[in-house]
Structure 1
Amino acid sequence: MKNVLFALLLSSILLSCKETENPDASAMPQEWVLIGYRSGWVPEKDIVPITDSVYHYKLEADGSFVKTIGKYRMSGTYEFSTFEDRKYVNLNYDEASIQLNEEYGSWGLIHYCGQHYEPFLILDSKTIRGSWSECDGPNLYFERR
């Protein structure tokens, strides 16, 4: 009887301490808010904080997302992937959002070198990073709210 109670206690402790490092579909919806940026040119420079961001993403359980930057609203679908032991969330924009981006100038609303998608590296369960560094832009950091 003591062994059974000990096993139950031990398993409840182990299960309660488990935290996922993936912002996956089991915990949806999720909202990600811009918290800062780092230069793509200067290595090891501190993140410049942003405290009043109007820039965020909302991921829904059905695989869709909405991106808001001030008055602009874009949408599409997302998927999770792994590449070289790194985990990513990839945002793929719908046609209406691509058209809005092109009307805006093709470099302002979709932040990935003129493409129609945005990949974000999952740093941990509370932080993701998007990058414009391949086209001389900043690294953007988002926190889960």
Structure 2
Amino acid sequence: MKRTLCILFLSLVFFSCKETETPDILEMPQEWHLIGYKGGWIPQEDITPIEDSTYHYRLEADGSFVKTIGQYQLAGTYNFEDFEGKTYVTLNFDETSIQLDAEKNLIHYCGQDYEYFTVKDAKTIAGNWSECDGPNLYFERR
């Protein structure tokens, strides 16, 4: 009896602690917060950290997203793509967001109506805007 209770207890502990530390990249909803950047043209080993940023993305299960930068919000749709062993997220902005971008320059991809990110791992994505003299931005999933 003691042996059975011990096995049950250990099984309970084992399975209750088996929470995944790397969430599935396709699990929704997701929230990505800016955690740092690297310069676009200057080689830099370390990410310059940013704390308490008001810059983040929220991806919903229905394929929509909201990008928040301070008081501004942009919206649109997203999709995930796998290419040559890497996963990418493309954010396509709606017309209202494109008009806001014309005034405030809030879409970070050389005047296009979309942004793309490379999925580094299930908790980190990075956007590279070095083609437009922009920084490499890093976001963490929360």
| Global fold match (TM > 0.5) | yes
- TM-score, length-scaled by structure 1: 0.81
- Pick the structure with greater CA Rg: 2
Q: Secondary structure at the match of 1:121?
A: strand
**Unaligned stretches of 5+ residues in structure 2:** 1-10
**C-alpha offsets along residues 96-125 of structure 1, whole Å, 9 cap, x if unaligned?**
000110122xxx200111110000000000
State yes or no: 1:87 paired with 2:87: yes
Could you tell me how far apart the structure 2 residues matched to 1:53 and 1:21 are?
22
Q: Secondary structure at the match of 1:103?
A: helix
Matches within 5 A, 1:11-50: 16=18, 23-24=25-26, 27-50=27-50
Matching residue of 1:134 = 131
- TM-score, length-scaled by structure 2: 0.83
Moved over 3 A (4+): 16-22
Matches within 5 A, 1:116-135: 116-135=113-132
**C-alpha offsets along residues 55-110 of structure 1, whole Å, 9 cap, x if unaligned?**
00000000000000001000000000012221101100000000110122xxx200
> Is contact 1:21-1:124 (8 Å) kept?
no
Matching residue of 2:3 = none
- CA RMSD between the two structures: 1.9
Aligned partner letter, 1:138: P
Matching residue of 2:107 = 110
Aligned partner letter, 2:123: K
> Is contact 2:22-2:123 (8 Å) kept?
no
**Unaligned stretches of 5+ residues in structure 1:** 1-8
